[in-house]
A and B are shown apart, each in its own frame.
Chain A
Amino acid sequence: MKKEYLTFIPDIKDLIENQEVKLTIKDLTPGPCKYDARIVKAILSSDPRRLPEGDVLWVRSWTGVLYPQPWAIKILGELEETEAGLPHGETLKALR
């Protein structure tokens, strides 16, 4: 049984296929820990047939709109649970 994950992305072009990428995913396994976030390194494919060993990755836009076709994700490892950076980092950058 494949596991299912969810990710949110500002632009679908940000999802790079067939190479190691870092992204935040939510675990959709039913139960009280559903939506638990993890930062992982993974290989992605927009065509699950080309990554048969991968799990299911649902993709939502930055405003939460679901892309109808799921991707495939092969998790290579978990990274730190937080990222270096300032709170409101994007705003601070935009204000500069």
Chain B
Amino acid sequence: MPFRDFREFIDTLDKTVDVVHIKQEVDWDLEVGAIGRRAYEIQGPAVLFEKVKDYPGFSIFGGSLGTFRRVAIAMELDPETPVKELYAEYERRINQPIKPVVVEDGPCKQNIIVGDDVDLYSLPTPYIHEGDGGRYIGTWAFEVTQDPDTGWTNWGMYRFMIHNKRLIVGWPRYSSHLGIMLHGKYVPQKRPMPIALVLGADPLCHMVATAPLPINADEADYAGGLRQEPVELVKCETSDLLVPANSEIVIEGEVYPDRTAQEGPFGEYPGYRMEGAKNGVLWRVKAITYRNSPIFTMISLGVPPDDSSIAASLTAALAMKRRLIRHDIPITEVYVPPYGVTHIVVVGVKSGGNDVARQIKDVLTARRADVNKIMVVDDDVDPFDFDQVIHAFATKCHPTRGIFCEDVEAPRGNALTPCYTAQERRAYKGAIALFDCTWPPERDKRNEVPVKNTFDMMFPKELKEKVVANWETFGFKENK
């Protein structure tokens, strides 16, 4: 059975000793962010802050999916499930979406505040990093918006901060699904866009909100697939948007098509704080609903690993894999290493060469070039094993014939790429580097392709079996 709500997930983390409950009072102003960040950097447990200064009755939770172990727990797998198996299970489930069900009521409606009573400062929104532009209410939360013509409902994870007691301003990328919806449908008609911000849903709902699914794909269906049970949704108080009924906190509002406010800066997912925006995406809050004793979910973003880099490792990699398979490219695996923050991807292929590598580059950068470095490796290399990947890069990638660099025209560039200039980021310009670490297929395999020196490839089968069988008798302790 999947977790019914976020609280059941925390209960399980208690049983597996993957969460620390901090009972002493902590300050929402930097202290929560500092503790959360350090916990990530030591790859420690998730953290439940049970007593937050100024906010009796509220708690804050950080680090839901900050390790692959916790991702496995969220998916109800053995916590020790290897990363490659997690990828395979995620892929299996995401390919079997399950439609959500709509319910009449839910725990997120236990407290309803609407109209003039709305006050964002009633929530324990942390000021996360020193130097941030404000208190970020949308970090490990997801936004729900809907296309007014097609009904496509997007869940996306974008940064949003408090502007004042009734206004939230954020910076979903212009090329994000929210940006496409806003500028494609609402801004031209000068219509406000209904929006809901969801905190503390089932962790897999948050995870799927990080997934770069195709335009017109409803993330709720894929969350159902990941959970292997439908997500229960309930209607918002002030719009027709549907949100997970068991969420801890839901904030409803409308995005202005013609008003704006200053936003940022913010310590972002690539591990750097980059510049703010003069014209953020601004919305007026119309209602706040929440459970009794609500748990505010957050992430102290930074250098990996954290929830963002770990979740996106799976969601981005499998989205790329689906696209490559759809284009009939002979791939084996796709891996997005967490420390690569979706800027680097490793693609394994059955048969390599420049042409295949370029095809991969073209597919992965067609609409949006979030990734800026692509490494293509042959099928004798495990893309999940970075030692093997570096060895292939060092030995098989020709410095002039194996590296291809080109500019990415606006607006396909990733505006959160630290190595770009601020001007490039703002204009969504970018670049892509392709590293072809495969043998050219035209080379004669018998005479021209060097032979790899490994235990597996350099010795007769019978001898290998004998060595393995006698391994511990030689004095070795482990026979992996």
> Chain A residues in contact with chain B, CB under 8 A?
8, 10, 24, 26, 31-39, 60, 62-66, 81-92, 94-95
Measured in the bound complex, the distance between the Cα atoms of B133 and A90 in whole Å is 18
Measured in the bound complex, the distance between the Cα atoms of B122 and A60 in whole Å is 27
Q: Name B's interface SS.
A: loop
Query: A31-B54, A35-B162, A63-B275 are contacts. A91–B174 as well, Cβ < 8 Å?
Result: yes
B148 at the interface (CB under 8 A from A): no
Query: A64-B133, A65-B131 are contacts. A85–B258 as well, Cβ < 8 Å?
Result: yes
Further pairs besides A64-B273, A84-B259: 15, Cβ < 8 Å: A26-B134, A36-B165, A37-B261, A62-B422, A63-B131, A63-B265, A81-B163, A83-B260, A83-B261, A87-B260, A91-B174, A91-B279, A91-B426, A94-B410, A94-B428
Residues of B within 8 A of A37 (CB): 134, 162-164, 261-262
In-complex Cβ contact of A91 among B130, B131, B165, B411 (8 A): B411
- Smallest Cβ-Cβ distance to B283: which chain A residue: A87
Measured in the bound complex, the distance between the Cα atoms of B55 and A33 in whole Å is 12
Residues of A within 8 A of B129 (CB): 64
A63 touches B273 (CB 8 A): yes
A8 touches B265 (CB 8 A): yes
B262 touches A38 (CB 8 A): no
B278 touches A89 (CB 8 A): yes
Q: List 10 A-B contacts (CB under 8 A).
A: A32-B122, A38-B164, A64-B276, A82-B167, A87-B279, A87-B281, A88-B174, A88-B183, A90-B278, A94-B428
B132 at the interface (CB under 8 A from A): yes
Measured in the bound complex, the distance between the Cα atoms of B128 and A35 in whole Å is 12
B187 touches A34 (CB 8 A): no
B259 touches A64 (CB 8 A): no
In-complex Cβ contact of A88 among B259, B273, B279, B423 (8 A): B279
